[in-house]
Amino acid sequence: MSNPDFSIPQRQSPKGILLFFGLTFKKIVKTIWPVFVLIILKSSSLNNQKQAVFYAIIALFFIILIVNAILSYLNYYFYIKNEELVVEKGYLKKIKISIPLDRIQTINTHQNFIQQLLHVVALEIDTAGTSQQELKFHALTKEVAEALQLKLSVFSSHRSVVSNDTENSYISDKKTILQISTTDLIKVGISENHLKSLLLIYLFVNGIYQQLHDFFKTALDTASEQAGGFLEKSGMLFITFLAIFFLGMLIVFSVLLVILQYFDLNFSRQDGAFVLKSGLLNKKDIVIPYSKIQLISWETNPIRKWMNFVSVYITQASNSQVKKKQAIIIPGCSNLHLQNILSEIFPDTDTSEWTKHNSHPMYFIRLWIFRIFIISIPLLIFMYSYWQTYIAILVWIFVSAFLSYLSYQKRYFKINPQILHTAKGTIEQEFSLFFNYKIQTIQFKQNFFQRRRKLASIAIFISGGKRIRIPYIQEELAGELYNYLLYCTESGHKKWM
């Protein structure tokens, strides 16, 4: 493999022309597709002369797009100069973006279906903080992308970690921490939160329905009338069958979604960074330098507990906006895997010896009252028309008491001189670990009722858009925690990223 020299300006892979073309085409079609539909529908009724003009316009449109793609490609340069990654692009409007290398947060590569066909990869570069600059290369050859990724990640991690390593130390050990097989993924899919898939299906179907509605209005109406009549006739049995069928579909859908997303997942460790590779149609390749990691959390629920695995989430420093797609999720970790991941980052991961601080029972009361009201008030509308509403509210009062008790019991925090450990959840339970000094902002909150009982809540903000709440603890304890976390943050000289 020849090592590309990034100090001289270079272009992306020539195949990028195709991608530039495709991207602009997609963008334009997305905005003006109704015009296209109209033109195509109208074109048959035009006379020959007008039709010729029409085809000429379309041809011109394509020529402009092709020329634009070629010019965009030819005018797109990138290079590294003075410890900055510089990108020059544009031919009508020239744009020059330079990003200091030590500002680079994450370097991710991925491949969508077309990029897989063309054997190129996309490389995304995300920067810290407020400048909100983001860079995306659409078509790099695999060698260039890997070399660039390595170069940038090594640079940025060297900066933030102690820099006594020698230059060539990164050509070193790569160790796979976990590799998930498809059978494991099926298990993960079954244990997913199916409400999420329900929402996805709903949005998907609703979107399609809205689009088709105008075209097939009459056809749909008759069909739904028939379906309605059919439903009435066959009654409860059919509805039960439908519900079971739907639940089955949900699970299948969840499993498929999980397999698509996490196919062939490989999580490894390589010179001070985690590397996550996964995906079937959209391949992802994410590098997470240890210094960028802000928090590691893991989630379990009764099904996962029974199957003996957890899902691990890694929060890393990023722009102030939380990007869902950037959340790093490693599903299907056994406890051993979890320990391996945690011990890589934290010096001390056995929290069983630490003092456990629970929330005050008032927290249970607050949750309970809140849950009763949030459900009951909308239900009050039906109170006049249906007497069953009273029973529903009564049942809910008991159910919410049970749920609130679970939430209250599962919420606690533990702390040692370096690490804060928190837990929360209702049916599921989420645990997290992070270094005390990685806080960004901290709040000490006390409402009127808390003040009377000498209680307080703490809210901690960390980078990556994560907020940690420690509600309803003793005022004195909250004060100590508040002061101690600030002390850790302000006294150390450790970088938070």
Partner 1 sequence: MLFENNIIDIKQIPTQENLVFDSLKPAYKTILIINWTVFFIISALLPLTIEPLFEIHLLSWWLIIYYTIVLSSYICMLTVTQRGFPLKGYALREHDIVYKTGLIYRKNTTIPFNRIQHIEIRQSMIARMLGISKLKIFTAGGQGSGLFIHGLSPETAQQLKDFLSKTANQYE
Q: Which is nearer to partner 1, 173 or 353 (CB)?
A: 353
Give the chain's largest Cα–Cα span. Answer: 86
Closest Cα partner for 408 from 353, 473, 352? 473
**How many residues contact partner 1, by CB under 8 A?**
44
CB of 432 to partner 1, least distance (A): 15
Closest Cα partner for 78 from 162, 169, 152? 152
Q: Which is nearer to partner 1, 428 or 475 (CB)?
A: 475
**DSSP notation for 386-431:** -THHHHHHHHHHHHHHHHHHHHHHH-EEEE-SSEEEEEE-SSSEEE
Q: Give the one residue of 371, 464, 471, 472 binding partner 1; rule: CB under 8 A.
A: 464
CB of 417 to partner 1, least distance (A): 6
Q: Give the one residue of 235, 347, 378, 417 binding partner 1; rule: CB under 8 A.
A: 417
Q: Give the one residue of 125, 273, 462, 470 binding partner 1; rule: CB under 8 A.
A: 462
- The burial of 12, by beta-carbon neighbours within 10 Å (0-12 exposed, 13-18 middle, 19 or more buried), is given as buried
Answer for the pair 101, 152: CB distance below 8 angstroms, yes or no. Answer: yes
- Judged by CB under 8 A, the chain residues 95 through 134 that form the site for partner 1 are 128-130
- Judged by CB under 8 A, the chain residues 328 through 367 that form the site for partner 1 are 354-355
CB of 323 to partner 1, least distance (A): 11
Q: Which residue has the tokens 């056995």?
A: 350
Answer for the pair 122, 138: CB distance below 8 angstroms, yes or no. Answer: yes
Q: Give the one residue of 268, 409, 461, 469 binding partner 1; rule: CB under 8 A.
A: 461
**DSSP notation for 262-328:** HTT-EEEEETTEEEEEE-SSSEEEEEEEGGGEEEEEEEE-HHHHHHT-EEEEEEE---SS--GGG-E
Cα distance between residue 340 and residue 46, in whole Å: 70
Q: Give the one residue of 255, 310, 317, 433 binding partner 1; rule: CB under 8 A.
A: 317
**Piece of 83-91, 235-243, 389-397, 462-470 that binds partner 1 (CB under 8 A):** 462-470
Site string for partner 1, 475-494 (x = CB under 8 A): --x-xxxxxx-xx-xx----
Cα distance between residue 367 and residue 77, in whole Å: 56
Closest Cα partner for 429 from 254, 267, 311? 311
HSE-CB at 30 with a 13 A cutoff on CA atoms is: 6
Q: Residue 10 carries which DSSP code?
A: B
Cα distance between residue 15 and residue 115, in whole Å: 9
Q: Within 10 A of 142 (CB to CB), how many other CB atoms are there?
A: 14
Q: Give the one residue of 211, 222, 321, 385 binding partner 1; rule: CB under 8 A.
A: 321
Site string for partner 1, 418-457 (x = CB under 8 A): ---------------------xxxxxxxxxx--x------
Cα distance between residue 157 and residue 171, in whole Å: 14
Q: Residue 437 carries which DSSP code?
A: G
Q: Which is nearer to partner 1, 85 or 128 (CB)?
A: 128
Q: Give the one residue of 416, 426, 428, 469 binding partner 1; rule: CB under 8 A.
A: 416
Q: Which is nearer to partner 1, 5 or 480 (CB)?
A: 480
Q: Which is nearer to partner 1, 27 or 356 (CB)?
A: 356
CB of 480 to partner 1, least distance (A): 5
CB of 478 to partner 1, least distance (A): 10
- Judged by CB under 8 A, the chain residues 201 through 220 that form the site for partner 1 are none
Q: Which is nearer to partner 1, 189 or 471 (CB)?
A: 471
CB of 385 to partner 1, least distance (A): 21
Cα distance between residue 78 and residue 310, in whole Å: 41
CB of 454 to partner 1, least distance (A): 13
Q: Which is nearer to partner 1, 167 or 490 (CB)?
A: 490
Tell me the pairing of strands 283-289 and 419-424. Answer: unpaired
Q: Which is nearer to partner 1, 154 or 473 (CB)?
A: 473
Per DSSP, what are the bridge partners of residue 287?
107, 275
**DSSP notation for 81-114:** ETTEEEEEE-SSS-EEEEEEGGGEEEEEEEE-HH
Q: Which is nearer to partner 1, 396 or 461 (CB)?
A: 461
Cα distance between residue 490 and residue 495, in whole Å: 11
Question: Could you say whether residue 463 binds partner 1 (CB under 8 A)?
Answer: yes
Q: Which is nearer to partner 1, 112 or 446 (CB)?
A: 446
Q: Which two tokens stand for residue 495?
A: 């970088």
Q: Give the one residue of 199, 322, 395, 399 binding partner 1; rule: CB under 8 A.
A: 322
What single-letter amino acid sits at 461? F
**Piece of 14-22, 54-62, 403-411, 461-469 that binds partner 1 (CB under 8 A):** 461-469
Q: Which is nearer to partner 1, 136 or 445 (CB)?
A: 445
Q: Which is nearer to partner 1, 344 or 475 (CB)?
A: 475
Q: Which two tokens stand for residue 147?
A: 């070399």
Question: In the complex, which residues of this chain contact partner 1 (CB under 8 A)?
Answer: 128-130, 317, 320-322, 354-355, 414-417, 439-448, 451, 461-467, 477, 479-484, 486-487, 489-490, 496-497
